[in-house]
Structure 1
Amino acid sequence: MTAAASPPSIQRSIGERELIVMMATLMALQALSIDSMLPALPNIAGDLGAGDANRRQLVIGVYLIGTALGALVPGALADRFGRRPVVFGSIAAYCLLSLVCALAPDFSVMLAARSLQGFLSAGLTVLPSAIVRDRYSGDRMARMQSTIALVFMAVPMMAPSFGQAVLLVAGWRWIFGTTAAMSLLVMAWAWLRLPETLDPADVQPIRLSPIITNMGASLLDRSAIGYVIGAGVLWSGLFGYLNSSQQLIAEQFGGGDKFPLIFAGMAGGMALANLTNSRIVERFGARRVSQVALFAYIAVAVLQVWRAFGGNEGLWDFVALMGAQMCLIAFMGANFSSVALQPFGRTAGAAASAQMFVRSSLSSLLGIAIGMSYDGSARNLSVALLTGGLLTLGLVLYSERGKLFRRLYAPGAERPA
């Protein structure tokens, strides 16, 4: 069997802009299944008997863990059978499990369904990177990734407000029902317009040894692994905030019903940062931009620790500093991923899966621990952010052999795949 082919007309008709929006929309389904739940977490926990207040965070946390574990699967399948079949299978699983969550009778069933949904729909997170890598490389790939992230960020901005709006007219179960319906619309669009980007010459066999070899190579490469683990450490701080954001902003700092709007504003900052990154990354290089952002991230984290332990931190102090960190993570996220994936052209699917597995597993597990450590203040979160920034700096120094701010190929050029 060869890679799933696309009709020639589809290959000719899709342009770069449509591809960007489509890849962002696939990833946005995952974000919608996370962020739209935030305002509903107290309702879900109360109706399904979650018990301890911090356990409500597990509706988000177990989904992220499922996605992390599932990331190992779709890349190898996509390298063998093509990108399209795996994308469609992921969307179908997402839709079905959304309906199961909507009908969950108790909290245990909800957590089981959320875990399985994350696992089986992981291709929605893994495959966009592989599809982009099929077509682009170097800093142009980083620009594409950043532009996709920019479009994608519209969903985290609106998702909590969407969830809040549903709660005003119906129960929380309708949030899951609506996301299922949206996934069917996305599937129809992809079916009609998404080309098969896997070159038939790059089809990889489904044999354990080649799969392990290809995945292992993407994790043993010194130039990549520091960025992979570093991204996981950075995102664990963001996930820790995400898991506890409703408690921190709405309850601890008194944001109340303004929580969706505040969350949207902070996500909007990330969107602006991705827009800026997409404009400058080809000029300055993914390494330089992300490394400068990392030093700024550490500096802001120091301020966060100072304010959190000062005893008088208010809502807008927290929002300003955490919003700045989210912007800086945006400058690092797409660029870290592009740098780590760059050496693996022929095995982009397996490499994307392995790297996503490590990155997501680390960030999800640490993110749950950070979120569950919530004690009615932002102190534990601030310490986690500073520690993560310092660890990431060490990991990047390892991958770069102690030399930062380098550019390994000329502006506008694409490193050979």
Structure 2
Amino acid sequence: MHPRDKPRSTHSSSRCARRIPCPGRSVLVVRLVGFDRNSLVLLQQRNFRIFAAGFASSLLGANMAAVALTFAVLSRGGSLSDLSLVLAARILPLTLFLLGGGVIGDRFPRRYVLAVADSLRLLGQFGLAACFLFDQAPLAAVLALCAFVGFSEALFEPAFEGLVPELATTEQLHDANALLGLLRSAAAVGGPAIAGVLVAVAGPVSALLVCAAGYGVSVTTVLLRVQDKHLQDTSGERRPSMLRQLRQGWTLFRSQRWLWAITLQFAMFNLLVWAPFLVLGPVQMQSHYGGGGASGIVMAVYGVGGAAMLGRRPSRPLVLATAVTIAWAAPSAALALRAQLAAVVVAAFLAGFGSTTFSAVFSTAVQQRVPADALSRIRSYVALGAFSLGPLGLAASGPVAEATSIETVLAIGVGWQVLANGALLAMPVIRRFRQL
């Protein structure tokens, strides 16, 4: 416990204990990751604490699922083409149904939407586990179940983004997003590691079952314990159609210049920086850094870097959010230069720091400036725009690198990121955006 947090007398100690149930570790952890003392107020709120626990369980299941499914396909004799189809079967419906998920997240109480989404993901994961219990898992059934899981994720993400402001005050939004970002980073590191251990010890089917259990914990937590403040329409007027709500969301998204500018930057980042890094990074690691072990260290440090978040609320959030995204290109730059492994690791740490800082600041800005009843739709437009070019980048990175070189493709991405950041920082709407 920090000295300032110690009770001044024996009479006040019981009051302090009631106010902060486990102060020692909470204060230590919060300060290690950079949060200020006010973050503890949010952690003390039962509603948010339970919601965060359920979210962590869901995240862990989602991050385990990709590793478990990959080894399940390969262990049953699946080819690389089969694996590509299985992974694409999840991404395609996720992209196609994002906008619909945004409308649903704004039409219905969001905690129920989250519960339904994770219930569907639970069923999908159980179905996949059942398929791989047989020596010859029918590929068509696996593809259908993966698509089912992708559809469920399209329901989850927009509703989740809209629910956060219902569980925290305006002053607490930045801390809430930072804490949830910390959970994302921890799950990004821990999920694949746990899945790898389970696959090695008990097999991929067991790992798939544990993924499903994670979704089950999330459903129970969100449905039975979390209370939201979703506003119901009590005016007696007829609710607009889903198509009209979709058009209204697009009009609002388009009217926010700062919002679509950052979304466009995100889309080009996924096309020119992140997709080439995912495809060519492992090849570069294999050729110059010793293979999978080094690659695993780099990706793990990327997640750990996300834990070094800012807990303070910046006065010019979009300037900070834009500036830190320059670090997203650091790993590509290190690999393009064939720098020492230590430099690549540092670059990955900086990229993780930039990613999580951007997420916390940008999410807070959206939640403060967008009406509560349109949040899920706006976030679905942001997600669709940001990730729509990613598959093209994944498909094109290999052929373009073969025609030129790996270093050239990675360097192009780095150059683009620097130019795009400069262009965004030059926009008055970015520089003048203030913290509420």
- Normalised by the size of structure 2, how large is the TM-score? 0.73
Specify the alignment match of 1:76 in structure 2: 103
Displacement, 1:205?
3.6
Q: From the superposition, tell whether residues 305 and 220 of structure 1 become closer, same or farther in structure 2 (CA, over 3 Å).
A: farther
Q: Is the 8 A contact 2:50 2:221 kept in 1?
A: no
Specify the alignment match of 1:265 in structure 2: 301
Can you list the C-alpha shifts for 1:141-182, whole angstroms capped at 9, x where unaligned?
Answer: 333212211122111111221122112223323322221122
Unpaired segments of 5 or more residues in structure 2? 1-43
Specify the alignment match of 1:5 in structure 2: none
Unpaired segments of 5 or more residues in structure 1? 1-11
Specify the alignment match of 2:187 in structure 1: 155
Give the residue type in structure 2 aligned to 1:44.
V
- Separation of aligned partners in 2, 1:13 and 1:340: 23
Deviates more, 1:240-249 or 1:13-22: 240-249
Specify the alignment match of 1:304 in structure 2: 334
- Separation of aligned partners in 2, 1:202 and 1:358: 33
Specify the alignment match of 1:221 in structure 2: 256
Give the residue type in structure 1 aligned to 2:374.
T
Specify the alignment match of 2:289 in structure 1: 253
Q: 2:384 aligns with which of 357, 361, 365?
A: 357
Q: 1:169 aligns with which of 193, 201, 205?
A: 201
Q: Is the 8 A contact 2:122 2:216 kept in 1?
A: yes
Specify the alignment match of 2:319 in structure 1: 288
| Residue correspondences, number | 382
Displacement, 1:292?
2.3
CA RMSD after TM alignment: 3.7
Displacement, 1:212?
1.7
Give the residue type in structure 2 aligned to 1:292.
A
Displacement, 1:33?
2.5
Deviates more, 1:99-108 or 1:69-78: 99-108
Q: Is the 8 A contact 2:304 2:352 kept in 1?
A: no
Give the residue type in structure 2 aligned to 1:234.
F
Displacement, 1:348?
1.3
Specify the alignment match of 1:379 in structure 2: 407
- Separation of aligned partners in 2, 1:197 and 1:31: 29
Q: Are 2:221 and 1:192 equivalent residues in the alignment?
A: no
- Separation of aligned partners in 1, 2:410 and 2:169: 36
- Separation of aligned partners in 1, 2:141 and 2:283: 23
Q: From the superposition, tell whether residues 49 and 93 of structure 1 become closer, same or farther in structure 2 (CA, over 3 Å).
A: same
Q: How does 1:25-104 map to 2 (within 5 A)?
A: 25-34=57-66, 36-37=67-68, 41=70, 44-45=73-74, 47-51=76-80, 56=83, 59-102=86-129, 103=131
Match of 1:110, SS state, is: helix
Displacement, 1:341?
4.8
Displacement, 1:362?
3.3
Q: Is the 8 A contact 1:304 1:382 kept in 2?
A: no
Q: Is the 8 A contact 2:334 2:347 kept in 1?
A: yes
Match of 2:337, SS state, is: helix
Deviates more, 1:329-338 or 1:366-375: 366-375
Q: 1:210 aligns with which of 245, 254, 257?
A: 245
Q: Is the 8 A contact 2:110 2:160 kept in 1?
A: no
Q: Is the 8 A contact 1:80 1:205 kept in 2?
A: no
Match of 1:348, SS state, is: helix
Specify the alignment match of 2:424 in structure 1: 396
Give the residue type in structure 1 aligned to 2:127.
V
- Separation of aligned partners in 1, 2:117 and 2:333: 41
Q: From the superposition, tell whether residues 94 and 219 of structure 1 become closer, same or farther in structure 2 (CA, over 3 Å).
A: farther
Higher relative contact order (CA 8 A, sep 6+): 1
Deviates more, 1:186-195 or 1:236-245: 236-245
Give the residue type in structure 2 aligned to 1:49.
G
Q: Is the 8 A contact 1:63 1:115 kept in 2?
A: yes
Give the residue type in structure 1 aligned to 2:319.
R
Displacement, 1:245?
6.3
Match of 1:254, SS state, is: coil
Q: Is the 8 A contact 1:219 1:225 kept in 2?
A: yes
Q: From the superposition, tell whether residues 202 and 139 of structure 1 become closer, same or farther in structure 2 (CA, over 3 Å).
A: farther
Q: Is the 8 A contact 1:66 1:119 kept in 2?
A: yes
Can you list the C-alpha shifts for 1:216-246, whole angstroms capped at 9, x where unaligned?
Answer: 3224421211122223333554455456766
- Separation of aligned partners in 2, 1:131 and 1:51: 39
Q: Are 2:174 and 1:145 equivalent residues in the alignment?
A: no
- Separation of aligned partners in 2, 1:63 and 1:183: 17
Can you list the C-alpha shifts for 1:76-102, whole angstroms capped at 9, x where unaligned?
Answer: 112222112211211121112112333
- Separation of aligned partners in 2, 1:166 and 1:374: 35
Q: From the superposition, tell whether residues 287 and 13 of structure 1 become closer, same or farther in structure 2 (CA, over 3 Å).
A: closer
Report the structure number with the largest CA radius of gyration.
2
- Separation of aligned partners in 2, 1:326 and 1:110: 33
Specify the alignment match of 1:9 in structure 2: none
- Separation of aligned partners in 2, 1:395 and 1:245: 27
Match of 1:304, SS state, is: helix
Match of 2:79, SS state, is: coil
Deviates more, 1:62-71 or 1:158-167: 62-71
- Separation of aligned partners in 1, 2:386 and 2:104: 20
Q: Is the 8 A contact 1:229 1:359 kept in 2?
A: yes
Specify the alignment match of 2:269 in structure 1: 234
Deviates more, 1:122-131 or 1:239-248: 239-248
- Separation of aligned partners in 1, 2:212 and 2:250: 32
Q: From the superposition, tell whether residues 395 and 79 of structure 1 become closer, same or farther in structure 2 (CA, over 3 Å).
A: farther
Q: Is the 8 A contact 2:61 2:210 kept in 1?
A: no
